Structure 1
Amino acid sequence: MPVPAEIAASKQINLITYRKDGAPVSTPVWHVADGNTVTTVSAADAWKVKRIRRNPRVEVVACDIRGKVAPGAQPVPGTATLLPDSETESARRLLERRYISARIGGGLSRLLHIKRPAGIGIVVTLDEQA
């Protein structure tokens, strides 16, 4: 299924991952939607990454910068894939095209040769809806 317009147009999404006991954990993240995928980048040692390694089933839903979901917004299920280091930089570049803050930070780190914290790209492929 293509990314719903509400998610594609939003500045942030809640990436919902699941703990070992099945409890959902929502984390607001920047994203880029393309076709039936949503791409983001996270710190490689973040808890959401650890949860995805254990269980790649996730949900995404449009939210505001603080993670508040609009009334009536429906989560969309999907499967998260962690990108190898070779593809994480291209995921960062996608985010830089969409977000000015990412563009400034990424540009300055390249210009001044500042080492970035280890990151990892996350691609969520949305499930086909029946």
Structure 2
Amino acid sequence: MPTDQERLGDEKYVQLTTYRRSGRAVPTPVWVARHGTELAVWAERTSGKVKRIRAGSRVEVTACDATGRKVHGRTVSGRARLLDQDETDTVRGLIRAKYGILGALGIYGSMLRGGKQRTIGIAITLDGAEPGGDEPGHPAGSREAEDT
């Protein structure tokens, strides 16, 4: 049975839920890739999700479709951290490798609009998993998502 990190990392899209200072959840569908024992996503530095992660690292991750409306599987809690330039370059490579031409076009388009500094990588450690360590299959922070 795959771990939550493997299962979510293999999805085409995940819904990354970040939290406003008020505690209100803000779900956003994103591309995702596996990065060691973490999940990795890529975003514009000025995006709301990046601002919310700067304010607080708590996140939830659920498999979803491209619109983020239809979620499926377990929702898993975790912590997000913003990556430095070298790590962000690694995430770009992971996205290109996983998503092929679409990933390359997305990255290329973003770089045309603002260079490498326009985007930042985000690493997500799921609850129960340690960065660089072994990950249990079902962290205590998991719950089943309802199909919507």
Q: Deviations over 1:25-80 (max 9, x none)?
A: 00000010245311011000101000000110101000000002335x22100110
Identity between Structure 1 and Structure 2 (%): 35
Aligned residues: 125
Q: Contact 1:31/1:40 (CA < 8 Å) preserved in 2?
A: yes
RMSD of aligned alpha carbons: 2.3
How far apart are the structure 1 equivalents of 2:45 and 2:106? 18
Q: Contact 1:56/1:80 (CA < 8 Å) preserved in 2?
A: yes
- Indicate whether 1:86 and 2:90 are aligned: no
CA 1:27–1:105: 2 relative to 1, 3 Å:
closer
Q: Contact 1:87/1:121 (CA < 8 Å) preserved in 2?
A: yes
Please give the secondary structure, in 2, of the residue aligned with 1:74.
strand
Shift of 1:118: 0.8
Shift of 1:5: 4.9
Q: With structure 1 as the length reference, what TM-score do the two structures score?
A: 0.84
Shift of 1:93: 0.8
Q: Contact 1:13/1:62 (CA < 8 Å) preserved in 2?
A: yes
Partner of 1:119: 119
Shift of 1:105: 4.5
Partner of 1:33: 34
Partner of 1:56: 57
Please give the secondary structure, in 2, of the residue aligned with 1:92.
helix
Q: In structure 2, give the amino acid aligned to 1:78.
A: G
Q: In structure 1, give the amino acid aligned to 2:54.
A: R
Q: In structure 2, give the amino acid aligned to 1:20.
A: R
Comparing 26-35 with 10-19, which one deviates more in the overlay? Answer: 26-35
In structure 1, runs of 5+ residues without a counterpart are: none
Q: In structure 1, give the amino acid aligned to 2:118.
A: A
